[in-house]
Structure 1
Amino acid sequence: MDIAIVGGGAAAVGLLDALAAVEEGETGTITVFEPSAHLWRGRPYGPDLDAVRVNAPPAIMSIRHGDFGHYAAWLGERGNAHRDELLGQPLVPRALYGDYLAHTAEKALAALGEAGRLVRVVADRVTEVMRSGVRLVLRTEDTGEYDATHVVLCVGTGTPPDLYGLAGTGSSDGRAGFTSDPYPLADTLDHVDDGDEVAVIGSGLTAVDVVVSLAARGHTGRITLLSRSGVLPYVWQRPIDRRPRHLSAERVTELHRARAGNVGLDDLIGLLRAELADVGEDFDTFAAELLATAHGDPVRRLRCQIEAIDDSRIGRRMLQEAVHTVGPYAWRLLPESDRARLRRHLRTATSVASPMVPVNATTLMRLLDSRQLVIVPGIRAIERVNGRFRVHGADHGENGADGVINAVNPAPHAVPDAARQLVGSLVGTGLATLHPSGGVLPADPRLHVVGDLMGGGSVITASIPGVAAQAFRAAQALRTP
């Protein structure tokens, strides 16, 4: 069996690690195609500022499926220098997490080589996959051709959208203009003067990264978060030693069997209600707090959440864990009407499922209290006028900025710009189809997808645990095609 892995980021690392664990006596080649200079790290975990941190505790950042201590064991004493005292957990720079991914990949490659696999890395971008009898032929940008029996797409998340049509409005003098993709922030912020007025489009985790990185560099100018919703991410709470008793994949499977495949959103809500009832918490109060997310004052909510980092209530913790562990499985069982209900609350769901770390939350709170940072919701338009940017808000009149940094996250399951030609060839040859809600579905058993590009999945972008689980399933399928 000859396997071609298209992409060399976290999804590819998870797949290689899983293949090294399950393969016994397999022969053939494994070829990884990755044109980036930052092999194994992907877009998020390449070299960058130390202020750009991993945004989750170590227990849910393991790229090895089922081994929650894998990353923590690798990190060891190195984590002590990056401990978030409010969370009680090490939160390291993302570049250090990239070292973990690279270490895991290299160990997997060595193990696969010792087991008889010929493993190679090709620093080129795949543009086409064609049928050739029982095999598949991959063509690259540099006109290379490689054949394989199976192809696995590990191309990462989509490209940040340009919601206000600002592409091409960069500055000719090297100073701040419009930045379409902020990463790596070390490069982006080199073009920002300390006193510049900076507008950041978005208010999610990427926007938080931009603001915290500006603060770490001693920025003195005004920073404005521009957002249609104005909703900030929630804040991580200290982990507790409690596993779900009701809201688990096993219980969802039981319901699925008992009800002849009919599992709805109300069933999942019932499981969460049971979790809270076990500890005497009121579900209706918890649900009301969640539903108020899109309407309340984001500054007041942030302050309350910082105060609740040590709160003993389990509701948010249980929901966050379930979104990433049960969510991808349960989503595929829900009727379309229930999926539509959840999509209407996408901004709230994303805010809860992907919270910011306390050390970043306290930085935002300090900047908000000093009025150096302001949040402007209801943005209608942004235009460049006389070398500056004019921002039109629904309720706040006009604001100005010297530079604009795009921190809008790609839509779930969006196709990255660099992979559009490849996906087009897969659809054109009948190897894949496009899902109506985004992403790609394999139409041939020789094609597999690992990561957020997989169509038909949850509206929440795949997390590291989700990617690791997909990689594990793909490795199992490749072992017994």
Structure 2
Amino acid sequence: MGLPRAGAEAWGMDIAIIGGGAAAVGLLDALAGAAQAQGSITVFEPSPDRWRGRPYGPDLDSVLVNVPPAIMSIRHGDPGHYSAWLGTRGEAYLDQRFGQPLVPRALYGEYLEHTAEKAVAELRERGQRVEVAAASVVGLARSAGRLTLHTEDGSRHVADQVALCVGSGRPHDHYGLEGTPGFVGDPYPLARTLDGMTPGSDVAVIGSGLTAVDVVVSLAARGHTGRISMVSRTGMLPHVWQRPRAHRPRHVTTERVKAHGEITLDWLARLLRAELADAGEDLDALLADLRAARTEDPVQRLRRQVEAVDAPEIGRRVLQETSHTVGPYAWRLLADHDKNRLRAHFRTATSLASPMVPVNAARLLRLFDSGQLDPVGGVNSIERRNGRFHVDAEGTTRTADLVINAVNPPPHAIPQAAVALVNSLVAKGLATPHPSGGVVPAAPRLHIVGDLAGDGPFITSGIPGVAAQGAAAARAILAPVT
């Protein structure tokens, strides 16, 4: 559950929040639910797209929120918060097969902005001083029992508590193409990337995840007529969301995991087996289907999943829901060897936990069937020679006029803009690098919200995970420092 919306004891301290995207919104909303007058909050965010972060800034209407509203609430413990804000506006974006509104990400960005501004207003009404500084924080150090922030322009700011909400990294340049004419290193916002692109040009999109799907459907929506290739090492497409059902997990629950204490992956599998058995389904059949994702023809698999959007089976639905609700709690209780077992299936797990919405799946299928779009797996290299890009893959070669990098950054990736800050944290002993990426706070006054948290799950956090982290950070910030 989240923090209570009223009645908390008064507190007085100076809080600094580094970053102004979704993670910061979740934290501010939680603080507004508990804070009384005294102290200050300063948010450091240099981007003009304040509160939206990289994913939810102004962009094309074809760039959709990829999940149903019920799991997009930024207020932890209140799953209806976003749906209530959306109201009747969602009717204009209803995906008939999915039975849910799938709005443009820019509209979801408005929700984040509204939530943040409302939280700020509530805090100010209670006498709290809240400021937003358009500055980048590049260093942090201890100072007489407090923490001193150093900004890029040479300014200093002293705080009692600091929360890092710096968001995720940008796509990695796996093929060393940065600076090459015709190469786009970061596709967002697609309104900028695709503006002025020659409609008949051949385009290679690096990646086959949700970002790559965004690029492809947006190209098609703008009337692109040239060949499009989705090129990647695995060739695996995201799974497809199925129409939500009323099933509530009885065995795979956060309460069950918390009560058990030490857990194993085999124990979680037994819970899932019981969950499916209650519905007359077989876990082994589901696992066999998931294993086939790496070898089955991606277009045929996509076709099967589009046809199964309304299928009654609950197996994938339960895994998708619980990966974001139960997963973060279970992950911290697993032994390292079980975590490594899961990491070995990272691509399949990501494809399942972050599916594409049916409307985009149907658009992709039409493009595949028309021959305009083709999947290319087993990519070894991409080079520009004689004015064109050459994609070398196992058993085939593709050429393209343009290459768009749509590789999703790995979990716990350090954003380029935060490298100096993270290096400072480690050098000053305020944080320690985690073996699987990211960092872990080494000081009680420092908190991390989002994927920079090195002890988090092996898949990228969705909004439910970020909201839960924001609420947890608020509780830790308001707790007495010993």
Unaligned ranges ≥5, structure 2: 1-12
Kindly provide the amino acid, as one letter, of the partner of residue 214 in structure 2: D
SS in 2 for 1:399: strand
1:70 to 57, 66, 81: 81
Counterpart Cα distance in 2 of 1:84 and 1:124:
40
- Find out whether 1:248 has 2:235 as its counterpart: no
TM superposition outliers: structure 1 runs of 4+ over 3 Å: none
Kindly provide the amino acid, as one letter, of the partner of residue 23 in structure 2: A
Aligned residue for 2:463? 464
SS in 2 for 1:31: strand
1:366-385 to 2 correspondences below 5 Å = 366-385=366-385
Counterpart Cα distance in 2 of 1:45 and 1:323:
23
Query: What whole-Å deviation, never above 9, does each CA across 1:301-331 have from its counterpart, x for those lacking one?
Result: 1001011111111000101111101111111
Counterpart Cα distance in 1 of 2:80 and 2:332:
28
Aligned residue for 1:266? 266
Q: Is the 8 A contact 1:389 1:400 kept in 2?
A: yes
- Find out whether 1:123 has 2:126 as its counterpart: no
Aligned residue for 2:386? 386
Aligned residue for 1:112? 123
Aligned residue for 1:173? none
Q: How far 1:141 moved relative to its partner? A: 1.1
Q: Is the 8 A contact 1:390 1:400 kept in 2?
A: yes
Q: How far 1:456 moved relative to its partner? A: 1.6
Q: Is the 8 A contact 2:438 2:454 kept in 1?
A: yes
Aligned residue for 1:16? 28
Aligned residue for 1:174? none
Q: Is the 8 A contact 1:442 1:449 kept in 2?
A: yes
- Find out whether 1:233 has 2:245 as its counterpart: no
SS in 2 for 1:22: coil
Kindly provide the amino acid, as one letter, of the partner of residue 45 in structure 1: Y
1:45 to 47, 50, 56: 56
Q: How far 1:191 moved relative to its partner? A: 4.1
Counterpart Cα distance in 2 of 1:458 and 1:291:
21
Counterpart Cα distance in 2 of 1:293 and 1:386:
36
Counterpart Cα distance in 2 of 1:335 and 1:354:
24
Kindly provide the amino acid, as one letter, of the partner of residue 297 in structure 1: D
Kindly provide the amino acid, as one letter, of the partner of residue 276 in structure 1: L
Counterpart Cα distance in 2 of 1:292 and 1:75:
38
SS in 2 for 1:110: helix
1:258-297 to 2 correspondences below 5 Å = 261=262, 263-297=263-297
Aligned residue for 2:6? none
Q: How far 1:159 moved relative to its partner? A: 2.1
Aligned residue for 1:138? 149
Aligned residue for 1:444? 443
Aligned residue for 1:187? 192
Query: What whole-Å deviation, never above 9, does each CA across 1:23-62 have from its counterpart, x for those lacking one?
Result: 2x34111000000010000000000000001110000000
Kindly provide the amino acid, as one letter, of the partner of residue 446 in structure 1: R
Q: How far 1:116 moved relative to its partner? A: 1.8
Q: How far 1:253 moved relative to its partner? A: 2.1
Q: How far 1:255 moved relative to its partner? A: 2.4
TM-score normalised to structure 1 length: 0.96
Kindly provide the amino acid, as one letter, of the partner of residue 310 in structure 1: D
Aligned residue for 1:83? 94
Query: What whole-Å deviation, never above 9, does each CA across 1:133-165 have from its counterpart, x for those lacking one?
Result: 111111111112111001100000112100111
| Amino-acid identity (%) | 65
Aligned residue for 2:42? 31
Q: Which moved more, 1:283-292 or 1:212-221?
A: 283-292
Counterpart Cα distance in 1 of 2:241 and 2:187:
23
Counterpart Cα distance in 2 of 1:38 and 1:128:
23
- Find out whether 1:424 has 2:423 as its counterpart: yes
Aligned residue for 1:102? 113
Kindly provide the amino acid, as one letter, of the partner of residue 358 in structure 2: P
- Find out whether 1:3 has 2:25 as its counterpart: no
Counterpart Cα distance in 2 of 1:22 and 1:132:
27
Counterpart Cα distance in 1 of 2:274 and 2:15:
45
Q: Is the 8 A contact 2:258 2:329 kept in 1?
A: no
Query: What whole-Å deviation, never above 9, does each CA across 1:195-219 have from its counterpart, x for those lacking one?
Result: 0000000000000000000010000
Counterpart Cα distance in 2 of 1:66 and 1:238:
23
SS in 1 for 2:195: helix
Counterpart Cα distance in 2 of 1:357 and 1:220:
23
- Find out whether 1:219 has 2:191 as its counterpart: no
Counterpart Cα distance in 2 of 1:38 and 1:154:
15
Counterpart Cα distance in 1 of 2:40 and 2:386:
57
SS in 2 for 1:292: helix
Q: Is the 8 A contact 2:16 2:162 kept in 1?
A: yes
Q: Is the 8 A contact 1:440 1:455 kept in 2?
A: yes
Q: Is the 8 A contact 1:192 1:403 kept in 2?
A: no
1:166 to 171, 177, 181: 177
Kindly provide the amino acid, as one letter, of the partner of residue 375 in structure 1: P
Q: Is the 8 A contact 1:6 1:151 kept in 2?
A: yes
Query: What whole-Å deviation, never above 9, does each CA across 1:397-437 have from its counterpart, x for those lacking one?
Result: x2100000000011110100000000011111111111011
Kindly provide the amino acid, as one letter, of the partner of residue 133 in structure 1: A
Aligned residue for 2:331? 331
